[in-house]
Each structure stands twice: as C-alpha cells, then as structure tokens.
A and B are shown apart, each in its own frame.
Chain A
Amino acid sequence: MDNPLSIEPLFHIGPVPITQPVVVTWAIMLALGVFSFVATRHLRIIPTKTQTVLELFVSTIEGQVRDVMNGDPKPYRALIGTIFLFILVANWSSLIPGIEPPTAHIETDAALALIVFVAILWFGIGTRGIKGYLATFAEPTWVMIPLNIVEQITRTFSLIVRLFGNVMSGVFVISIVLSLAGLFVPIPLMALDLLTGAVQAYIFAILATVFIGAAVAETPSPKPQEDISQ
C-alpha cells in the first residue's frame, strides 16, 4: 500500500509535476463545468426536473448563507456553493474504482483552506476597510490581538486537518479492509464514507460561511454611557 501522506507525480508538464489529485480535479472541473453549461442552457420560468434540482441546490445554499450571515447571500453564493459542490463530488469520486479523492491529499484541502482564508480577508477588508478589519483583532481588548491572530491561522489549519483526516482515513480504512477481506466486505464502509464525505463537505462549507460571516459582521455599537454623576 502506498503511503497516503505521500504523493507521486503522474507526469510532468515542463517542470510542473502533475499528480493524481490534480488530474482528478481537472476531471471534476470538466464534469461540473460541462454539466453546468448543459443544464443551464435552456432555463425556463416553468422548470424541468433537472432545473428544479439545480434551483433547489442554489436556493438551499443561499438559505444557509442567509441564515448564518443574516445578510444578502449573493456575494458569497458562488464561493460557498463551489466549495461545497467540489468537496462533495471529490469525496464521492472514491466510488469510481481506482480513483482516489483529491481531498484525501492535504494539498487539495490546503488549497481550499487557503482560498477560504483569502476570502475571509477579502470580504472582511472589503466590508470594513483595512483599519476596520484590523481593529477586529483588538476585540474585545488589545490584549486579545495575539490570540486572535493565532485563531485566524489555527482555524484555517483546522479546516485542512479536519477534511484531510476524515477523507484520508476513510480511504485508508477502505483500502486496508479491501486488501484483507473480499470484494463486497468494504461496501458498508464505502456507504459510511459517502455519508462522511457529504457531512464533511457541509461542515467545510458552513465553517467557511461562519468565518466569512464573522469577518463581515457588523460590530455592535457600544451603548451610550449614562451620566452617573448625579
């Protein structure tokens, strides 16, 4: 069995090594892109079944973002929806024999977490301005600045590790069971892996929403101090 923590290039494009997660990601991108293009070519006011599913998906994403952020979900819809959809499809790609999910490799999870980290900065600064955003690190007091900075980094790493650990462990366990037992023995574990993959996609997307929402949330204005000199 290969070391799940190591990755070998399949081929090189110039100096750039192309690994299996990248190839699988390209396949996922191609599939999602083509599907989206085909499915949304003839959208109508009276929807088809496929259009209804797509609208349900988009509406659910918007509803989740709206519930978490208490605001207009439009600026974050594509980011959160793409993260959820990509992680879900990537996790479930393990159903295809011989395909290892890209999210089982830390580089992919790190890329996703990096994008979320940048999105937090982007939306936070875009909403509050640089000074306003930096001021959030001094809340509730300036003493919390180091801890808030560490929190920004650690929660990004927590995203990485959570997703990587769950998916990688699932793939690893199935591989071990498959190597030890027969062909059909890992099926329950694969079904569990599907559930885990969906839950992890949801958790990653919701946490990204929460972090971005915390960055753009309005700071409650301090109550006017009452005159107590009387």
Chain B
Amino acid sequence: MTIDWWTLGLQTVNVLILLWLLARFLFRPVAKIIAERQAAAHAALDEAEAAKVAAETARAEAEAAKQAVLSERAEKIAEVRKDAEVEKQRLMAELQAELDKARVQAKEDLARQSKAQEEALSEQAGVLAGDIAERLLARLPKEARIAGFIDGLVEAVGALPESTRTGIGLNGPVPLRAAQMPTEAEIAQLRDGLGKILGRAVEIEVTEAPELIAGLELDTATAIVRNHFRADLDRITAEVRKHD
C-alpha cells in the first residue's frame, strides 16, 4: 500500500476550498435567514405582547369606564328613586288631603241631602198628616169644625196678658178667620164668650179660610190667637223636626 502524497495534498486543498465554498454560499446565508426569521418571530412576538398589553390596558380601562358608568347609573337611579319617593309622598299627601276634603265635602253634602230629605219627608209627612186629618175631619159634621173650637179660642184669649187682652176689639170689629162660615148661633156663642172674658161686648168680622181645616183664628192688632188644626199640625211638624 502506497500513499499518493500529491492526491493527499490536492484532496486537502479541495476540502478546504469546499469548506470555504459551503461556508460562503450555504451555511452563512442559511444561518442568516434563520436568524432573520427568528428575529422577525421575536419581533412579532414582542409586537403581539405589546398589542396584548395594550389590549389588556384598553380592556382594563373599558372595564373601569364600565364600572364608572354602572356606578353613576346606580347613583342616578338611587337619586331618581329618592326624588320619585319624595314626589310620591307629596302626591300621596296631596291626594290624602284631597280625599279628606272630598270626604268632608261628601259628608257635608250627605248631611245636607239627608237634612233636605228629612225636611222634605217631614213636609210630606205634615202634608200627609194634614190630608189625613182633613179626610178624617171631612167625615165629621161641618158644625163640628167650628163649634168644637169656640171654647178653646175663648180660653186662649183669656190666657192673654191683660194689656193685650184690653186692646182687642177697641178699634173696630175683631177679625176672625174660620175654616168655614160659622152659623149665627156659633157667632153668638163666640161673641158671648169673648164678651165675658174681655168684660165688654165686641163685634166679630168673620172671614172664611178653608186652609185652617177646622177651627178659628183671631187676628187683632195686638195679638193673633190660633185655635185650628192647621196651627196644631204646624206645631206638631215643628216639634217633630226639632226632635230629629
């Protein structure tokens, strides 16, 4: 076995040249592009990280803004609720006052209507009583409508004070209203009775007044003496109203 030193030397030089060639045209450019890609990747990662940080910051700011808006909203809602509550209380108070006023008014109206109704009823009752009495008296004989009241009228005149009684019949005939025209005998009885009470003879001027139903009414300048059913019914009605 022999070694060709020329070939050994040439191969050494060849490998060194190949080493230079590959280093120059293969390994250096490829390593460079790998490094550039890594740098680009790192830059992209850094950029993405920065974008992420920016996004996180923006998100935090948005969250803070949202919380601020929510807080402000809650405050405004509370404020509005408070105002609404105050307004509600005011309206309720006004409504309550109006209701009280209306209630009082209604109570007054009701009392007034009740009173008016009672008065109307009383009046109707009086009228009805008058009608009843009139119908009942219509069944009595007509003489009873005057004769039965003569003594009572005389007694009433006798019950008047002396001064009043003295003035009756001094200036002319005594006006007398009767439910129906009395008979001569009834007039004479009345004249006699009054003469006894007054102590002197008096003239009587009779006027027919059917509204008296039954009875007599002496109408003088100093006194009016009533003894008839109308007066009694009016008195009874007045008494009933007073008791109500």
Interface residues of chain A, those whose CB is within 8 Å of chain B, are: 5-7, 16-19, 21-22, 25-26, 28-29, 32-33, 36-37, 39-40, 43-45, 47, 51, 54-55, 57-59, 61-62, 74, 77-79, 81-83, 85-86, 102, 105-108, 110-112, 114-115
Contact = CB atoms under 8 A, between A and B. Distances in A.
A80 B17 CA distance: 14
Nearest to B18: A29
Interface string B131-171: 00000000000000000000000000000000000000000
B15 A112 contact: yes
Contacts of B3: 106-107, 110
A111 B18 CA distance: 13
Interface of B: 1-4, 6-12, 14-19, 21-23, 25-34, 36-37, 40
Contact of B27 (A5, A22, A58, A111): A58
Most chain B beta-carbon neighbours within 10 Å: one of A39, A44, A58, A115? A58
Contacts of A36: 21-22, 25-26
B19 A78 contact: yes
Contact of A81 (B2, B27, B33): B27
B7 A7 contact: yes
B29 A82 contact: no
Contacts, number: 126
B23 A7 contact: no
Given A16-B6, A55-B33, A115 B18 contact: no
B10 A16 contact: yes
A200 B21 CA distance: 23
A49 B195 CA distance: 163
18 contacts: A25-B18, A26-B14, A32-B21, A32-B26, A45-B36, A58-B27, A77-B27, A78-B22, A78-B28, A79-B19, A82-B22, A85-B22, A102-B11, A106-B3, A107-B11, A111-B9, A112-B15, A114-B8
B30 A7 contact: no
B15 A40 contact: no
Contacts of A111: 8-9, 11-12, 14-15
B29 A40 contact: yes
A115 B33 CA distance: 28
